[in-house]
Amino acid sequence: MRRHIPNTLTCLNLFSGCLSVVMAFSHHYTAAFGFILLSAVFDFFDGLAARALHAHSPIGKDLDSLADDVSFGVAPAAMLFNLLMQLAEAQEWGGARAYLPYVAFLIAVFSALRLAKFNNDARQTTSFIGLPVPANALFWASYVLLLQDLGEEFLWNWAFPVALFTQLLVLLFSWLLVSEIPMFSLKKIKGNRVATYFFIGCIPLFGLLQMQAFVPIILWYILLSLIEEAKNRKK
C-alpha cells in the first residue's frame, strides 16, 4: 500500500496541472496559477514520500517527468498563449504577428527536454544544471498575472512591443532550461549560504508583490546562481 503513495501524489500533481490548463483556456489566470502552485506542493511531497518510504521505482521516475511537463510546461505555456492570443484577437493581428502567441508553447517543449536531460544526467544529484522546470513555470505564471495587472489600456497601447519582448524572453528562458549553467538547490537549507541569501531576498518581494513576486524571485535565483558559479570558477 505505502509504495503507491508517491505515485498517487504524482498523479495529483498531474491532475492539478490539467486543471490549470483548463483554467488557462477559460482565462482564469489566477486560478491557473493556483493549480500550478498546488502541483508544486504535490511534486515536493512525492519525492519526499519516495525517499521516506524507500519507494523509488522506474515507473515513478517516468510518471514524475510526465506530470511535471504538464504542470510546469504545458500549463504555464497555456496561460501565456491565451493571454497573447487575447491581444492578437483584440488587435486583429495578421501575417507573422498572428503567430506570436504560439511561441509560448516553446515553454512546454524545452521543459520536456530539460526533464529528459535531468533524468539522464548523474551530475544533478545535489544541485541543478540549467533552470529547474518548476522555477521556470512559476516565473511564467507570475509573468502572466503581472501583464494582466498592467491593465487593458496599457496592453492595448503596447500590445505588439509587449508580445515581441515576451517572445524574446521565452527564447531566453528556453535556453536557460537546457543550458549548462549550474543552479543551486533549495532541498537542503541548513548550511546552504546561497539559499539563505535567496530566502532573505524573497521576503520583501513577497510583501510587495504577492503572487507577481515570482517574476523578480526567479530572476534573483538566476542571478545568485550566476554569482555563485563565478566565485567557484575563480577558486
Cell of 114: 530539460
Q: What is the mean pLDDT of residues 78-101?
A: 84
Q: What is the mean pLDDT of residues 42-56?
A: 72
Type of residue found at 123 = R
In whole angstroms, how far apart are CA 177 and each of 106, 184, 196?
A: 11, 14, 23
Per the domain annotation, does 99 fall within a domain?
Answer: yes
pLDDT at residue 39 greater than cutoff 70? yes
With pLDDT > 70 as the criterion, what percentage of the chain qualifies? Answer: 88
What whole-number distance in Å separates Cα of residue 150 and Cα of residue 152?
7
φ, ψ at 94 (rounded to 5°): -125, 175
pLDDT at residue 226 greater than cutoff 70? yes
In whole angstroms, how far apart are CA 218 and each of 171, 199, 233?
A: 16, 11, 23
Q: What is the pTM of this model?
A: 0.88
Cell of 55: 519507494
pLDDT at residue 96 greater than cutoff 80? no
Per the domain annotation, does 199 fall within a domain?
Answer: no
**CATH value at residue 37:** 1.20.120.1760
What whole-number distance in Å separates Cα of residue 134 and Cα of residue 118?
13
Cell of 9: 501524489
| Residue whose C-alpha cell is 483584440 | 90
Per the domain annotation, does 38 fall within a domain?
Answer: yes
**Which residues, other chains included, contact 40 with Cβ-Cβ below 8 Å and sequence gap of 6+?**
71, 72, 134, 137, 138
Per the domain annotation, does 235 fall within a domain?
Answer: no
User: DSSP H helical segments within the chain, as ranges?
Assistant: 5-25, 29-53, 58-69, 75-91, 106-119, 133-149, 152-157, 159-178, 193-209, 214-234
- Residue 165 half-sphere exposure, CB side, CA atoms within 13 Å? 8
Which range of 114-118, 128-132, 171-175, 197-201 scores highest in mean pLDDT? It is 171-175
Q: What is the pLDDT of residue 189?
A: 61
Q: Are 109 and 131 in contact (CB under 8 A)?
A: no
Q: What is the mean pLDDT of residues 73-94?
A: 88
In whole angstroms, how far apart are CA 182 and each of 1, 20, 69, 201?
A: 38, 29, 21, 20
> b/e map of 108-120 (b: 16 or more CB within 10 Å)?
bebbbbbbeebee
What whole-number distance in Å separates Cα of residue 138 and Cα of residue 41?
12
What whole-number distance in Å separates Cα of residue 19 and Cα of residue 142?
17
When divided into structural domains, the chain yields a total of 1
Domain that holds residue 173: 2-181
The tens digit of pLDDT for each residue in 139-185 reads 999 999 999 888 777 777 888 888 889 999 999 999 999 998 888 87
φ, ψ at 183 (rounded to 5°): -125, 135
Per the domain annotation, does 31 fall within a domain?
Answer: yes
Per the domain annotation, does 22 fall within a domain?
Answer: yes
Per the domain annotation, does 80 fall within a domain?
Answer: yes
pLDDT band of 32, cuts 50, 70, 90 = very high
What whole-number distance in Å separates Cα of residue 1 and Cα of residue 55?
10
Per the domain annotation, does 156 fall within a domain?
Answer: yes
Across the strands, what pairs with 128? 183
